[in-house]
Amino acid sequence: MDSILVKGNGPLNGQIPIAGAKNACLTLMPAALLSEEPLTLTNAPRLSDIQTMTQLLQSLGAEVTALQDGQVQALSGHGVNSTHADYDIVRKMRASNLVLGPLLARFGEAEVSLPGGCAIGARPMDLHIHGLEAMGAEIELKDGYLHAKATGGLKGAEIELAFASVGATENIVMAATLAKGTTVLKNAAREPEIVDLCDCLRRMGAQIEGDGSPAIVIQGVDRLNGATHPVVTDRIELGTYMLAPAICGGEVERLGGRISLLEAFCEKLDAVGISVEETEKGLKVARKNGRLKAVDVTTEPFPGFPTDLQAQMMALLCTAEGTSVLEEKIFENRFMHAPELTRMGAGIEVHGGTATVHGEERLKGAPVMATDLRASVSLILAGLAAEGETIVNRVYHLDRGYEQVVRKFSGVGAHIERIKG
């Protein structure tokens, strides 16, 4: 198994290009199942999760071709000949469940295995099922598969989500585009990835209003057309790389970034002592004077502080002056990186969904193990600011969500290399 070797070596300077959003691309790809015509996605990230979604769509009979070194994905749902999403593919990645809504809407049936992904909390499918049942689907769980049928097609409905789930919002919105009548989805997720999906569906001929707000209204249409759509900037990759100069010092510009994608996160950086400035090309981040200050963080649905930046923020706060409290409200079991940071000399106590971080002057390099996707990059960030060498093991998690990490960090002066295992 590969590992990554990081040496702490002072300030970083330069530019880092930010990829298209993994979580947007993984919901845009299944949208191709809604139409007979081709869907072309530009600015696609090159990640193993995208390969997994490609495999899944191909297993259903869809065509998926990667062009321009994977930065363009050309898809077509014309040849779909199966509505069975197999466990062997679905178990690798949670977003596989996003084929459920589109298959049900266009073909009136779907069999989708319960999903996998990083082992962070329960992440139930109840909200997806509740929404689709309200639209007239009959769904039962049998042998680890959701068996869904919509005899006579889906019908518009008023649905209120118990929690603003991103995945449930995406599945219901996609299904509603081809349902008969109007669907009103209340307490919908408001993430930029949702708005990006709705932009793409509108390009395909869907009638959708209110995305980005808690109430989305979808007027069903008879069919959707093909389209070309650029994937929105990855705000989590953006936030991750914003933390590199914050932890190490220096000044780094992230190309393609903008503050509106990460307002709550930028506010916390300001409070810690980091300046964030919008430029023509993106976002410039630099440390203000002196040691960073401790700050409390609570993860919340968008527009709050993203759970997917909590591990990276914890790495930053390990060397801040004072005591910080991080409260995780989205996923249980999402502090698995804390014991690894402790191995590097961090002062962290975890009680349930709360982690208390006592800032230390410096961390020390150590061999550590990545437990999930965001944890793996938080350990790299910590290593960049630590004395000596840090070896991060199990970096296959990293390949699911960050393309060319070594190249991007090295490009701004970090000492980092991948060791083939």
What span, in angstroms and rounded, lies between the C-alpha atoms of 102 and 35?
9
In a 13 Å sphere around the CA of 410, the CA atoms on its Cβ side amount to 9
307 in the same domain as 179: no
115 in the same domain as 147: yes
pLDDT of 125 > 90? The answer is no
pTM of the model: 0.87
Q: Among candidates 148, 163, 72, 161, which has minimal Cα distance to 110?
A: 148
| Percent of the chain's residues with pLDDT above 90 | 89
400 in the same domain as 277: yes
Residue at a domain's end among 171, 203, 230:
230
pLDDT in tens, 320-371: 999 999 999 988 889 999 999 999 999 999 999 999 999 999 999 999 999 8
Reading the block at residue 75, the tokens are 């898809």
Mean pLDDT for 108-115 is 92
What span, in angstroms and rounded, lies between the C-alpha atoms of 341 and 348?
8
With bands split at pLDDT 50, 70 and 90, how would you rate the model's confidence at 116? Answer: low
What value does the mean pLDDT of the chain take?
95
What span, in angstroms and rounded, lies between the C-alpha atoms of 371 and 170?
27
pLDDT in tens, 129-182: 999 999 999 999 888 899 999 999 999 999 999 999 999 999 999 999 999 999
Domain that holds residue 243: 3-18+233-419
218 in the same domain as 138: yes
Judged by DSSP in three states, 375 sits in: helix
265 in the same domain as 152: no
Residue 410 confidence (pLDDT): 97
What span, in angstroms and rounded, lies between the C-alpha atoms of 48 and 201?
25
For residues 348 and 357, is the Cβ–Cβ distance under 8 A?
A: yes
Tell me how many domains the chain contains: 2
In a 13 Å sphere around the CA of 300, the CA atoms on its Cβ side amount to 11
Compute the Cα dihedral for 216, 334, 126, 82 and give only its sign: positive
126 in the same domain as 261: no
158 in the same domain as 79: yes
What DSSP letter does each residue of 76-145 carry, written as one string?
A: E-TT----EE-HHHHTT-GGGGGGHHHHHHHHSEEEEE---SS--S---SHHHHHHHHHTT-EEEEETTE
- Nearest 5 degrees, angle CA 52-CA 58-CA 60? 110
For residues 344 and 386, is the Cβ–Cβ distance under 8 A?
A: yes
Residue at a domain's end among 230, 252, 275:
230
275 in the same domain as 238: yes
Q: Is position 118 annotated as part of the catalytic site?
A: yes
pLDDT of 97 > 60? The answer is yes
337 in the same domain as 241: yes
182 in the same domain as 262: no
296 in the same domain as 270: yes
CATH number for the domain that contains residue 8: 3.65.10.10
Catalytic residue among 118, 200, 248, 318: 118
- Nearest 5 degrees, angle CA 231-CA 298-CA 338? 90
Mean pLDDT for 199-223 is 98
CA distances in angstroms from 129 to 114, 133, 166, 378, listed in the order given: 12, 6, 14, 34
